[in-house]
């Protein structure tokens, strides 16, 4: 139970004091007149840093990425109307990524509501389908209790975003409030002994079991428990979409990623497994390879799903066993039960690992700059604690399928498939961990979604390294366009500015690379530059994906 103290404060002061009492350290946002009282209270908040961004969409992405990287609640502050609509992309990304986040929105005063006042929006209606909970605080006395509830809901069960509207007159109002003095403990559910026994029994009969791991709550303890359980049983590991960092990719037991563009090797592993253990995963479109895996026609294959929220069971896959539990307690309980897998097919495991290792090598790419070789050089340069970020697009295949992440390296990429995520995520990561290497992959279209956040990096004094894979087109859409309407290009071509010059205008290192042999020296210089860098990589437009050229795609569509 938290101790508390009583104070007479404005609503804005009560909000900031409650947040800092709960352990909040960072907030991201764009200032607005509708929450001036909150901004003023931040001025006196020891240990709390507000990062002003250039756009609310970038702020939302930064809050989500920061929360995923730290395991804490991401906070985003925006003004009413346009500020809220811009920030909605961050809420959607947090929901699909099961990321704990709170979006605070300055709101029209209570006495003006209902008249379609300037920038007035009903946020319960707007964010209802996107967030776990949406509320509005109408009484300054209730600020602490509402923030406590929002903080808890954001982290409980399946974590996700909460939206809190803040009428500006409520923020100015003064009231007697009770501020908690200690942060609330985050409760984790665990498996029942019967559920553990059933899973152990299934493992005892399995020949080709595989773990599909990922989802929210894979903190350091859960990752360590997974490492030990895998060592104990020898069961191979497939990461869920963009959750590579949950298990060491360089380990002999890691055999692939179940994400968009699933490799033939990963699909073969998942199809041929006789027992699939989904640890923490939601079994969405990506992990099921567009809903074609683990269906009713899976034969004798058994599927077990574990998740903190029972709402995820039966949503996509009809499982043979469902266990409501957080991943850490589940894996520790399994480990303590000392399960045996006496019939484990080691040849099958070894073949799966070899298939994964082979998949890391891309074929030669068309044009003078080969992104396969470039990515190989990036891999060699990654430090032990490197953070790699990316947005969405075909360029992200390089980070998802051709980089291998060690035990202390991290990939931050959007579960929602949102373009523009990578650069804000890189800025947030570098702000939190300035000593760590942070490398961002962007497409040229993707980069321009949030390139203004280079200004946030400049003002914060941090320098991620941005690699812009520039092919002059929205590559993913062009790929689908050519597949369905070959040689009828409409709306997907891009005419781009000089990205290197743009970088230099923000005080960063900027360079353009057109040949593979020139990349190494430029990349070395970029990594050494104290204010970060943007490297514009000019690639051949026909390299539509690492394993598919535009000519091949057009010919196949005939």
CATH of the domain at 224: 3.40.50.1220
415: confidence class by pLDDT, cuts 50, 70, 90 = confident
Buried b (16+ CB within 10 A) or exposed e, 158-167: bbbbbbbbbb
Does 107 fall in a domain? Answer: yes
User: Of the residues 121, 150, 180, which one is the last residue of a structural domain?
Assistant: 180
Residue 3 pLDDT > 70: no
Distance CA 480, CA 553 (A): 9
Whether residue 348 is found in the same domain as residue 380 = no
- CA contacts within 13 A on the Cβ side of 365: 26
Residue 403 pLDDT > 80: yes
Residue 481 pLDDT > 90: no
Residue 427 pLDDT > 90: yes
User: Of the residues 146, 180, 214, which one is the last residue of a structural domain?
Assistant: 180
Does 187 fall in a domain? Answer: no
Distance CA 463, CA 446 (A): 19
Any residues with CB less than 8 A from the CB of 408 and at least 6 apart, and which? 384, 385
Distance CA 480, CA 558 (A): 14
Whether residue 229 is found in the same domain as residue 330 = yes
User: Residue 459's closest CA among 30, 153, 66?
Assistant: 30
Q: Which two tokens stand for residue 488?
A: 């009828």
Whether residue 272 is found in the same domain as residue 143 = no
Does 483 fall in a domain? Answer: yes
Total number of domains constituting the chain: 3
Distance CA 39, CA 381 (A): 41
Does 364 fall in a domain? Answer: no
Question: What domain range includes position 33?
Answer: 4-180
545: confidence class by pLDDT, cuts 50, 70, 90 = confident
Distance CA 140, CA 38 (A): 12
| Residue 222 backbone phi and psi in degrees, to 5 | -65, -40
Residue 452 pLDDT > 60: yes
Does 55 fall in a domain? Answer: yes
pLDDT of amino acid 1: 43
Whether residue 407 is found in the same domain as residue 269 = no
Does 365 fall in a domain? Answer: no
- Bridge-partner residues for 512, per DSSP? 536
DSSP string, 163-210: EEEEEHHHHH-EEEEEEESSPPP-------HHHHHHHHHHHHH-SSEE
DSSP conformational letter for 515 = S
Residues 255, 261, 265, CA angle at the centre, nearest 5°?
A: 35
Whether residue 518 is found in the same domain as residue 412 = yes
Whether residue 323 is found in the same domain as residue 452 = no
Sign of CA dihedral 504, 402, 238, 225: negative
Least confident of 251-260, 445-454, 538-547, 548-557: 548-557
What distance lies between CA 415 and its chain's CA centroid? 6
Distance CA 101, CA 95 (A): 9
User: Of the residues 180, 214, 232, which one is the last residue of a structural domain?
Assistant: 180
User: Residue 172's closest CA among 119, 120, 107?
Assistant: 107
Does 311 fall in a domain? Answer: yes
Task: Report how far apart, in Å, the C-alpha atoms of 100 and of each of 120, 151, 519 are.
Answer: 26, 8, 38
Give pTM, 2 decimals. Answer: 0.94
pLDDT digit string, tens, across residues 326-380: 999 999 999 999 999 999 999 999 999 999 999 999 999 999 999 999 999 999 9
pLDDT of amino acid 47: 92
- Bridge-partner residues for 538, per DSSP? 470
Whether residue 149 is found in the same domain as residue 212 = no
| CATH number of the domain residue 47 falls in | 3.40.50.970
Mean per-residue pLDDT of the chain: 93
pLDDT digit string, tens, across residues 453-470: 999 999 999 999 999 999
Distance CA 247, CA 407 (A): 6
Whether residue 171 is found in the same domain as residue 217 = no
- Determine the average pLDDT of the residues in 462-479: 90
Whether residue 171 is found in the same domain as residue 206 = no
pLDDT digit string, tens, across residues 180-224: 877 777 788 999 999 999 999 999 999 999 999 998 778 889 999
- Determine the average pLDDT of the residues in 37-66: 96
Does 188 fall in a domain? Answer: no
Whether residue 288 is found in the same domain as residue 319 = yes
Whether residue 499 is found in the same domain as residue 460 = yes
Whether residue 152 is found in the same domain as residue 13 = yes
């Amino acid at each position: 139970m938290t101790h508390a103290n009583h104070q007479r404060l404005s609503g804005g002061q009560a909000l900031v004091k409650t947040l800092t009492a709960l352990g909040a350290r960072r907030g991201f946002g764009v200032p607005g007149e509708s929450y001036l009282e909150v901004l003023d209270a931040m001025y006196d908040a020891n240990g709390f840093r507000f990062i002003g961004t250039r756009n609310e969409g970038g702020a939302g992405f930064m809050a989500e990425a920061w929360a995923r990287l730290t395991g804490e609640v991401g906070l985003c502050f925006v003004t009413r109307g346009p500020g809220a609509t811009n920030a909605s992309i961050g809420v959607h990304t947090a929901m699909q990524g099961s990321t704990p986040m709170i979006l605070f929105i300055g709101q029209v005063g209570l006495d003006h509501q209902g008249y379609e006042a300037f920038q007035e929006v009903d946020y319960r209606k707007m964010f209802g389908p996107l967030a776990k909970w949406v509320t509005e605080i109408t009484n300054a006395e209730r600020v602490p209790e509402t923030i406590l509830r929002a903080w808890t809901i954001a982290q409980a069960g399946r974590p996700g975003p909460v939206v809190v509207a803040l009428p500006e007159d409520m923020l100015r109002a003064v009231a007697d409030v009770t501020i908690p003095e200690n942060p609330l403990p985050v409760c984790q559910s665990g498996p029942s002994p019967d559920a553990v026994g059933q899973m152990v029994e299934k493992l005892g009969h399995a020949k080709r079991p595989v773990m599909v791991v990922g989802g929210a709550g894979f903190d350091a303890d859960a990752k360590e428990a997974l490492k030990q359980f895998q060592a104990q049983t020898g069961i191979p590991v497939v990461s869920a979409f963009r959750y590579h960092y949950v298990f060491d990719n360089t380990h002999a037991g890691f055999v692939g990623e179940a994400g968009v563009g699933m490799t033939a090797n990963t699909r073969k592993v998942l199809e041929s497994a006789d027992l699939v253990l989904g640890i923490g995963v939601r079994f969405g479109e990506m992990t099921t390879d567009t809903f074609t895996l683990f269906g009713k026609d899976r034969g004798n294959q058994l599927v077990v799903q574990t998740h903190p929220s029972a709402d995820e069971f039966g949503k996509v896959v009809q499982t043979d066993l469902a266990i409501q539990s957080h991943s850490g307690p589940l894996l520790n309980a399994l480990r303590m039960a000392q399960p045996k897998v006496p019939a484990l097919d080691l040849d099958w495991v070894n073949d799966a690992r070899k298939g994964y290792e082979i998949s890391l090598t891309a074929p030669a790419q068309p044009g003078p700059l080969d992104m396969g070789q470039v990515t190989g050089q990036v891999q060699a340069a990654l430090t032990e604690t490197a953070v790699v970020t990316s947005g969405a697009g075909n360029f992200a295949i390089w980070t998802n399928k051709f980089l291998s992440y060690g035990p202390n390296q991290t990939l931050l990429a959007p579960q929602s498939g949102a373009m523009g995520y990578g650069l804000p995520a890189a800025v947030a990561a570098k702000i939190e961990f300035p000593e760590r290497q942070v490398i961002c992959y962007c497409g040229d279209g993707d980069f321009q979604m949030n390139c203004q956040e280079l200004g946030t990096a400049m003002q914060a004094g941090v320098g991620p390294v941005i690699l812009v894979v520039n092919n002059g087109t929205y590559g993913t859409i062009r790929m689908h366009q050519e597949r369905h309407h070959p040689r009828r290009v409409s709306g997907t071509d891009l005419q781009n500015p000089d990205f290197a010059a743009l970088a230099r205008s923000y005080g960063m290192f900027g360079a353009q690379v057109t040949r593979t042999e020139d990349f190494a020296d430029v990349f070395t210089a970029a990594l050494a530059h104290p204010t970060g860098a943007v490297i514009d990589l000019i690639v051949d437009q026909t390299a539509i994906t690492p394993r598919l050229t535009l000519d091949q795609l057009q010919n196949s569509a005939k």
